[in-house]
Amino acid sequence: MRAWHAFEEDKSFVLEHLQAGFLDHLEVVSRVVETQFFQHFIGSGGMERLAASYPSPRKKHDVPPWVYLSSQMTLRLHGSPGYGSLPYVMHCGGLRDALEAGQVERKLDSETQEPSLSFRGYNHKNDYNRVTPCDHDYVRKFARDTDPVALQAWFSRHVARYLGEIGAYDPEGIFMLDGSYLFVPDNDRYEHSRRAYFDKHNHPISKDDIAKLPPQDQRRCRLRRYYQMVGLSHTNRRQDCLIYSGARVLPGEGHEVHELLPLVRDFVGAVGPGVLRTLLLDRGFIDGYSIGTIKQELGADVILPLKANMDITRDAWRLGRVDREPWQVWEPPRRQKPPHPPQRPEHIRRAEEKRQQTVAQKKLDAGIQPPPCLLRVELKTIPRMRLWTECPVPLDVVLLREHRSDGEVSEWGLMTTREVWDPLEIRELYGLRSSCEEGWRQSKCFWDLTGFRSCSFSLVVSQIIFVLLCYSLLQVFLIKTERGDLAKATRQRLLAELLPYGEKIAVYCKNRVGYFSVGEYTQIILTLEEGARRRLLGRVRRLQKSHLERPALPDRPTLK
């Protein structure tokens, strides 16, 4: 029968013995490691399934394509757009331990006595020890030679199908299509890039419109070089995740509205009907023919806002004012103040409330008004309108009047191909778009989506597609491992949880264990007395020698 040993967590006991130079064992531990992420998709055969449909530019593969995909993803997960960093990422990342047994060997240099890792590689052409399973230049050339159009089609079809097969999509089927501007340095060698003037909100603006702006706003307009991307993403009402299911990078002078129907067709053709049920769009995708086709041929409902200069908008407001149907009134729930911690004494609670009242009064005396809040919303549905001749299906229009505390009343509207029974539900569904903007900002700003190291269009597209792929698979992994609370975290926060930055050093001594951060452990070691340092050095050398004599890696399920 196998022996088990129980350890009691006692940091002070372990610290006392560590300062004297005594320990039994030490190791690096973490709550969730990057290795589990790769084992989840490599061990289950997911990477091989994706690699089987990948548009490879090679007829002969000395390295399995799934190794190439894994190498791309570990670079994106570590935020390293440059392929030259692959050897460094491979030796500190979790992909190293997730590779199949026998691929990695721990070796001890005969001259320097320094431990190192050696990868055997996947072919029989090795004349020297590999520092990575595949050369970083091989990965770069493989990405450069991949056709960007075929790569985007692979992501929008085969990856979308794979995500559906592993249960990434919510049964309600809420998807969004959004356009983004990806800014790059003003270097005309960026293939298929464009230049335009952008206002302070990073929206394109013409020279004539710039001249109409106030001088202070004109100074904030800039001429910028950019790429334009259209992405299809999935979420749910709880907004637990944001999973990308399709993407297009527009070369030349393409327009985002032209990618609406092809992207949706690719997705529905890949996953089948019934997965995409509701599609949320913004005003940039208003196209009557595409909206009608999505409803009639693809069986999905569309929700998007009205433009003020559209005939259907003016006619809907006229009908809303002359018909005798009452307006539905909705008031947002009042925000409750967060409760005070129960351990806080009563006199401190009263002092804090008085301080907040004093700060609010000082702002009022200085003429600083609190930001306006939403008081109530009036809603009315205009059913089955057929006044938009470009759209072959009837539309329900939801008119909205939003009243704010400063007296401002904003009027706007939403149109949808579904029959509206509750206009408030349509407003809440469309509100998911603005709520998911944080997820889009995460992928653009914190995942180095625009961290291009090359002006080649194929490498630009490769960077974008693999960032979106890694971001989406990580969302699925976090939810399936019951760590969905991290799905909305920044990449830096994820690194703290999934990568070595979040790891602690566990020190064992006499059936006690203590957990130390890297900084704590380093400070303890540097401040040891000479006798304790010598004892600890001998113990660590013996542990290191026994570690090198162990089998290289634990076995994992064989890939099928």
Beta-bridged to residue 250, according to DSSP, are: 228
- Could you tell me if 432 and 239 are in contact, meaning their C-beta atoms sit under 8 angstroms apart? yes
Domain range annotation of the chain = 6-28+503-560, 31-145, 148-192+226-280+437-491
Please tell me the predicted confidence (pLDDT) of residue 555. Answer: 41
The two tokens of residue 257 are: 């509205």
- Could you tell me if 195 and 252 are in contact, meaning their C-beta atoms sit under 8 angstroms apart? no
Please tell me the predicted confidence (pLDDT) of residue 117. Answer: 65
Strands (E), 311-467: 328-330, 374-385, 395-404, 409-416
Query: In this structure, what is the dihedral angle of CA atoms 143, 148, 153, 158, given to the nearest 10 degrees?
Result: 0
- Could you tell me if 98 and 35 are in contact, meaning their C-beta atoms sit under 8 angstroms apart? yes
The two tokens of residue 305 are: 């806002």
Instruction: Tell me if the pTM is above 0.85.
Output: no
Please tell me the predicted confidence (pLDDT) of residue 265. Answer: 96
- Could you tell me if 233 and 282 are in contact, meaning their C-beta atoms sit under 8 angstroms apart? no
The two tokens of residue 327 are: 């307006």
- For 184-219, the pLDDT digits (tens) are 999 999 999 999 999 988 888 988 999 999 999 899
The two tokens of residue 304 are: 């998007």
What 3-state class would DSSP assign to 60? coil
Please tell me the predicted confidence (pLDDT) of residue 487. Answer: 62
Q: How many angstroms separate the CA atoms of 262 and 256, rounded?
A: 11
Please tell me the predicted confidence (pLDDT) of residue 272. Answer: 94
- For 348-402, the pLDDT digits (tens) are 888 888 888 888 888 888 888 778 888 999 999 999 999 888 999 999 999 999 9
Please tell me the predicted confidence (pLDDT) of residue 6. Answer: 55
The two tokens of residue 140 are: 């770069």
Mean pLDDT per 10-residue section of the chain, whose length is 560 residues: 56 88 74 69 87 93 88 84 79 68 66 65 67 82 95 96 93 92 90 91 89 90 92 88 91 82 95 95 92 95 92 91 89 75 77 86 81 90 90 94 90 94 93 74 70 89 93 86 64 57 71 81 88 88 65 38
Q: How many angstroms separate the CA atoms of 514 and 387, rounded?
A: 72
46 residue type, one letter: G
